[in-house]
Chain A
Amino acid sequence: LAKTTQPISMDSYEGQEVNITCSHNNIATNDYITWYQQFPSQGPRFIIQGYKTKVTNEVASLFIPADRKSSTLSLPRVSLSDTAVYYCLVGGGYNKLIFGAGTRLAVHP
């Protein structure tokens, strides 16, 4: 199972772009990269998933370099409601997901 490493915490201000980078040096060929957001006392919410290059949806972008050993979640123009814990996970197919510590993002006024 690929292990992921993320910053423990980050701080930002409303309206700024936030980039959270995740390292996954031993990612397997068939692994996807998935990011989740979790608020206190709620289940994780799916944000975005990708395999390589760039993926964009209505809430975020995911940048994956060619070697796939890292990925960056980009949140454009964050608001106070984006304060949460963000988890980067790698896996795919029938592999189970193992959660790391995640990144606690605090958005300030």
Chain B
Amino acid sequence: GAVVSQHPSRVICKSGTSVKIECRSLDFQATTMFWYRQFPKQSLMLMATSNEGSKATYEQGVEKDKFLINHASLTLSTLTVTSAHPEDSSFYICSARADKYTAGGKAADTQYFGPGTRLTVL
């Protein structure tokens, strides 16, 4: 199946610091990637849509200046949580949508998810 990686898998930081999370599609190209947040026992909540070479589109209620997203290439998107606070502690998950004509056998236009990043802000 399609492989999406995230780094780091878990991070602990002090309040006020910034944390960067990387999301990579390893065996397919993804013009579009998505970032989700998931709190314990809850479903995934979409934060933003990241398009290669353009600005991200944020969901209502998500602060774009706090959650900086960069999608510099067809295989890499990054999420930076700036000035993190304890309430930002959560499980962050990215997904990459396999481009229709470069899917390489993957289900086209399907989102494949990374393993997630556990962020703990002290």
Contact = CB atoms under 8 A, between A and B. Distances in A.
Interface string B49-72: 100000000000000000000000
Which applies to chain B's interface (DSSP): helix, strand, loop or mixed? strand
A48 to B, nearest CB: 9
Given A94-B32, A99-B44, A42 B109 contact: no
B93 A43 contact: yes
Given A96-B34, A98-B46, A101-B43, A43 B110 contact: no
Interface string A78-109: 00000000010000111011111110000000
A76 interface: no
Nearest to A101: B43
Interface in A21-75: 32, 34, 36, 41-46, 49
Nearest to B106: A46
Which applies to chain A's interface (DSSP): helix, strand, loop or mixed? loop
A99 B39 CA distance: 13
Contacts of A43: 4, 6, 93-95, 113-116
Nearest to A36: B113
Given A87-B43, A98-B46, A100-B43, A44 B113 contact: yes
A40 to B, nearest CB: 9
Q: Which 9 A-B pairs have the closest CB atoms?
A: A43-B113, A99-B44, A99-B43, A44-B113, A43-B116, A43-B93, A43-B115, A43-B114, A49-B107
Interface of B: 1-2, 4, 6, 32, 34, 36, 43-46, 49, 91, 93-95, 107, 109-116, 118
